Amino acid sequence: MTNPLHDSLLGQRAGQDSVFLHLPQGGTLSHADFAARAAQFAGALRAAGLRPGDRLALQTDKSAEALALIFGAIQAGIVFLPLNTGYTPDELCYFVENSGARLLVAAPGSEDRLAGVAALPELGLMTLGEEGGDLADRAADRPTRFPTEPRAPDDLAALLYTSGTTGRSKGAMLSQQNLLSNAQTLKAEWRFAETDVLLHALPIFHTHGLFVATNVILAAGASMVFFPRFDAGQMLDWMPRATAMMGVPTFYTRLLEDPRLDRDRAATMRLFISGSAPLLAETHRAFEERTGHRILERYGMTETNMNTSNPYEGERRAGTVGLPLPGVEVRVCDAQGRDLPRGEIGVLEVRGPNVFQGYWQMPEKTAEELRANGFFITGDLAVMGEDGYVTIVGRAKDLIISGGYNIYPKEIEALLDEMPGVLESAVVGVPHPDFGETPVAVLVSAPGAEIALDAVQAEVADKLARFKHPRHYEIADDLPRNTMGKVQKNVLRDRFAGLFPT
Ligand code: MCA
Ligand code: AMP
């Protein structure tokens, strides 16, 4: 095999007329059509001067074209970094600079908005959208076959930015083998086959939508209904033509709000999978009552792909993330990395072919989170039962998960602390009926100063993606602290727990 990820996912089906994508706006795309378009993108990237190992940044709307670009990059040995479409130019600059990307691909019409980013040295800017763009035009002129670039299993395929357990975003280096091994394991564990039709409404700039959903479907030779975004009504329209769905918990709570969701509508479905954030046991039960299906919950991270899953056959236990996947070692440890007995709460550590290669150009950060013996410290607090089922009980890291998107309080606090009149700030996650959790900001004013909340919110809107914006601000005299002087975020969480009734 020359390029294991390309060959196993797309290459082996490149000549097949079988459907890969059902497009809700009309029509389908076969494996052969998709492979041909990916090859054209591979050619266009090469013609633009990108060599194997170079980085390609993309902030594009979800479309078949954007997906084909990603698979073109894989075929050409180019390392891609997909970026949340909600990121502001300020946020984007960091990722592009840090990764040393040679090319940024963005939506047509975004050139003015991205002028500051495009001014970075040695960076090209091209556009791509559902309806075209200059990269699409260039690709149209390229041959529909491309000589696949040979890659070794440890060669990098993608850089996915995540803040990990602390601080500024870091590029998680994912190798060909990391991605392929996980796709093959999940395909087998979840019994995906050519007859499956997946409802795909996740974004394709994160592990869940790209590596879990798309790679598993390709590995199985199955097809997916490729929605531009999640819309409960549209999902329900398509459900009778599908067999499986993958989603974050918000998908499930929103589906439950629609009275059309019932046993009949879900009659052709064989599997509903949830992940990226905790699924409430209550949602699990309500979904089973309405549809007769027990949601299969699994657990993973950007750095590790998927680690544990409830079983396909066997008990899908609400409130747990199931058992370690085959080939993945999972242990619950104390802070020194010593194994704790079953039933005790500790930090979850994982090791296996799924675990990433480290953080891009940050060897110290890598050493802090990836032990010399190969175990990765997830920062999630968990307990493992006698029967091996893992339950995530909390987080040792300061992280908020809103609708499946990660928000790092530190990033928001750093911005708030710089605002005129602000002495200090604290951001905490509180329960939210739709997003699971949402950030709330507490601001303390400097002596004699007054905080202009309008100005604070305007600055937040300018600098940070919408999903990170606190949904509530409070001005307080001080922050609760323990005897060591550390801010007691749990006190703040309790104080605001009932702000958004769930
Ligand atoms: C959109 N908004 C959000 C979110 N999404 N705010 C907070 N949290 C969010 N997740 C903003 C919108 O910009 C909008 O702003 C307002 O909130 C309401 O938008 P709405 O129409 O309700 O949102 P939506 O477009 O329907 O999106 C909600 C969503 C979406 C469907 C839950 O966020 C989503 O697809 N989430 C999935 C994320 C995901 O794939 N995570 C996997 C990460 P305004 O009001 O100003 O217009 S991978 C991972 O975690 C690991 C590896 C794993 O285990 O999978
Ligand atoms: P990310 O950094 O986007 O890869 O997010 C990974 C984090 O999401 C994990 O470290 C967990 O905190 C959380 N997560 C993912 N799946 C689950 C799940 N099923 N239950 C609870 N938390 C989860």
pLDDT in tens, 309-346: 999 999 999 999 999 999 999 999 998 999 999 999 99
Span from the CA of 230 to the centroid of ligand 1 (angstroms): 9
Residue 92 corresponds to which tokens in the numbers above? 């984007």
In this model, does residue 91 exceed pLDDT 60?
A: yes
The DSSP secondary structure of 290-306, one letter per residue, reads HHSPPPEEEEEETTTEE
Structural domains in the chain, sorted by start: 4-14+31-175 (3.40.50.980), 323-396 (2.30.38.10), 399-495 (3.30.300.30)
Taking CA atoms only, the protein residue closest to ligand 1 atom 28 is: 403
Q: Specify the residue with its C-alpha closest to ligand 2, atom 6.
A: 301
Q: In what order do the strands lie in the sheet with 124-127?
A: 124-127, 103-106, 55-59, 79-82, 156-162, 170-175
Lowest mean pLDDT among 26-35, 41-50, 89-98, 162-171: 162-171
Q: Answer yes or no: is pLDDT of 43 > 80.
A: yes
The residue to mutate among 306, 467, 469, 500, having the most atoms of ligand 1 within 8 angstroms of its beta carbon, is 467
Q: Ligand 2 centroid to 404 CA: how many Å?
A: 8
Could you tell me if 379 and 396 are in contact, meaning their C-beta atoms sit under 8 angstroms apart?
Answer: yes
Q: Please state the separation of Cα 222 from the chain's center in Å.
A: 22
Atom 23 of ligand 2: nearest residue by CA position: 277
Verify whether ligand 1 is closer than 6 Å to residue 229 (CB atom): yes
Decide whether any atom of ligand 2 lies within 6 Å of the 276 Cβ: yes
Distance between CA 341 and CA 344 in Å, rounded? Answer: 6
- State residue 168's pLDDT score: 77
Which of the four pLDDT bands, split at 50, 70 and 90, describes residue 167?
Answer: low
Nearest CA to ligand 1 atom 37: 404
pLDDT-derived band at 164, boundaries 50, 70, 90: low
* pTM (predicted TM-score): 0.96
194 — pLDDT class (breaks 50, 70, 90):
very high
Scanning the structure block, which residue is given the tokens 């870091």? 170
Residues above pLDDT 70, as percent of the chain: 99
pLDDT at 4 over 90: yes
Cβ atoms < 10 Å from Cβ of 81: 24
Rounded to the nearest whole angstrom, what is the distance from the C-alpha of residue 232 to the centroid of ligand 1?
A: 13
Strand partners, 402: 405, 436
Q: Which pLDDT score is estimated for 166? A: 59
CB of 169 sitting under 6 A from ligand 1 = no
Ligand 1 site, residue 221, Cβ cutoff 6 A: no
Average confidence (pLDDT) over 432-444: 97
Q: Where are the alpha helices (DSSP H) in 331-389?
A: 363-369
Q: How confident is the model at residue 131 (pLDDT cuts 50, 70, 90)?
A: confident
**Does ligand 2 lie within 6 Å of residue 400's CB atom?**
no
